[in-house]
Structure 1
Amino acid sequence: MKFGVLYHYWGKDWACDYIHTAHKVKEAGFDIMEIGANHLHDMSRSELENLKDVSRELNLVLTTNIGPTREYDLSSGDPEVRKAGVRYITETMKNMDFVGSRDIAGAMYSFWPSDFVDTDKSAAWEHSIPEMQKIARVAEDLGIECSLEVLNRFETYILTDCKEGLEYIRRVGSGNVKLLLDTFHMNIEEDNLPNALRLAGDKLGHFHVGEGNRKLPGMGSMPWDEMGRALRDIRYSKSVVIEPFMRCGGEIAKPIHIWRDLTEGADEATMDRNLRKSLAFLKDKFN
């Protein structure tokens, strides 16, 4: 397994100085920095060059996290919106290819977070699966793996447990389309977290980790030992990415619903120490 962290850990807003952050991620001992698909999509060629150069300099793997906005909703009843979504994800994957990022993970089958104006799941699947098949063909050509995120009931109605996710990717029918499971969402929706990992088996393409309140792994009571055994049972050898949301205020807190400071007033040095401690905790439990 390779271990990573989502780029936003130190910030309150979605914007990121990736060069500075890459050095901090590497100094903390990680193999992976997970970057934002929207940032990657909008970067200039010189920004893409700089990101590629720093990742190579630091020997840091780049994975890409995606949560499209409504204008790119592949499950939309409007074919023009779906077409825009395919174009957006395709352009993003081409930039991924340029910087050497081979994994894109998130709720790309729809938009995030759902506003639940329309909750016709059958129609959402009918609309989005053919579009995901188009994206899968691009991914196959570029050598990129797409991992579709199974979310909880408060963020989507389309894919809310592992079993549902497996059926969806079966219908897409591409070896380059797998599942992203996330312990936060699993803790709400799955009967048993380790068993969900075993059910996913070799279809698990990406794994997000955090406590039930979105703190760093090791700060709560998730069944980490049992999940570690499940990962070893399925011979999982891909990305394990910490996705913590702990800081209130700013752009991030509102859609994630962080209403109190979960860092308990930690300064940057303390956040650095906590992150290194969490990485050591995960390696102990999973390896």
Structure 2
Amino acid sequence: MTTTHPKETPTVDQRNPIGVHALVWVGGTRPDEIAQAVQRTKDAGFDLLELSLHEMETLDLEGTRAAAEEAGLALACSRGLAFDADVSSDDPEVVARGEKILHQSLDVVSGLGSTILTGALYSALGKYGRPLSDAGRANVVSVLRSLAQEAAGRGVSLGLEICNRYETNVVNTARDALRLADDIGEDNVFIHLDTYHMNIEESDFVTPVLDVADRLGYVHIGENHRGYLGSGSIDFPAFFHALSRVGFTGPITFESFSSAVVSPTLSNDLAVWRSLWTDGDDLARRARGFIDTHLAASASIDA
């Protein structure tokens, strides 16, 4: 586990905004929680704060946007869907509920002044008992094409986050995501890689990055157990080198969940059954230094 603090990292020509997920700090989106997340994100030296839209009704858009702007932070938004609002369903009523939630989410993103809505936008977040049907996939393509077209008019891009087989049956690998993006056919749809999910589904940490190349728009950095970076089994040097090879300049966001912080409802959705850490500040500072160190190392190799 690295103990490097961001300020101790050698200076590099860093082009990537470095972010942290708000669930490292707080479990919800009440104004007091958002204020805390913004301040702690700034104090830990990050450039971007990612907000989960699982509690949109408690999110103060104007206040959150103002707080982030004052702190000099960019905002990104992410979400998944529930099984009763699953756009990959064969049931038109279920699909309609999911489509409505996605368009409401786009309203939130616009209200926050963000340009990124990403996540499992294409399905419920949970284990399916059967493969995706042809009708279900067609529903995904139709809903996300319409959403992308509306998003383009608002200056927002949509990310297809690739999740593991226990959280979706729609997109599990980079090549799955590329096929879905091709079928949606809109220029503002990008691929979102997550090392935690890649560790389960991909053969290595280089090939998917090279496959996606300039269509990669967002990255989640997380350990195989979602704890401290460097304390697990993920081949981060190979992954960061691959990012350097394709010239990736988009956001790199640290994501980690612990039952010490995440709300019980979301803990159940994400299967967060244990506390891998209790001190989010220490976790995040170390993650910031870890990411900087690997970016610098990869840049020096490719220089």
Using structure 1 for the length normalisation, give the TM-score.
0.90
Higher relative contact order (CA 8 A, sep 6+): 2
Superposition pairs of residues 87-126 of structure 1, within 5 angstroms: 87-114=100-127, 116-126=128-138
Output the aligned Cα RMSD: 1.8
For structure 1, list consecutive stretches of 5 or more residues without a partner in the other structure: none
What is aligned with 2:49? Answer: 33
Identity of aligned residues (%): 26
Q: 1:223 offset after TM fit, Å?
A: 1.4
Alignment counterpart, residue 142 of structure 2, candidates 115, 130, 135: 130
Superposition pairs of residues 240-251 of structure 1, within 5 angstroms: 240-247=252-259, 250-251=263-264
The secondary structure found in structure 1 opposite 2:206 is helix
Aligned positions, number = 277
For structure 2, list consecutive stretches of 5 or more residues without a partner in the other structure: 1-15, 297-303
What is aligned with 2:17? Answer: 2
Offset from partner CA, 1:251-283 (integer Å, 9 cap, x none): 1433333333212xx4x4xx3123111111111
Change (3 A) 1:245 1:123: same
Letter of the 2:144 counterpart: M
What is aligned with 2:268? Answer: 254
What is aligned with 2:10? Answer: none
The secondary structure found in structure 2 opposite 1:126 is helix
Whether the aligned pair in 1 keeps the contact of 2:88 and 2:132 (CA below 8 Å) is: no
Q: 1:250 offset after TM fit, Å?
A: 5.0
Partner Cα separation in structure 2 for residue 154 and residue 77 of structure 1: 20
Q: 1:151 offset after TM fit, Å?
A: 0.9
Partner Cα separation in structure 2 for residue 246 and residue 93 of structure 1: 28
Letter of the 1:272 counterpart: D
Letter of the 1:27 counterpart: D
Q: 1:148 offset after TM fit, Å?
A: 0.8
Using structure 2 for the length normalisation, give the TM-score.
0.86
Q: 1:21 offset after TM fit, Å?
A: 1.1
- 2:170 is equivalent to residue 170 of structure 1: no
Whether the aligned pair in 2 keeps the contact of 1:216 and 1:242 (CA below 8 Å) is: no
The secondary structure found in structure 1 opposite 2:50 is strand
The secondary structure found in structure 2 opposite 1:125 is helix
Letter of the 2:90 counterpart: G
Offset from partner CA, 1:150-191 (integer Å, 9 cap, x none): 111111111111111101100000111111111011001100
Letter of the 1:280 counterpart: G
Partner Cα separation in structure 1 for residue 142 and residue 41 of structure 2: 37
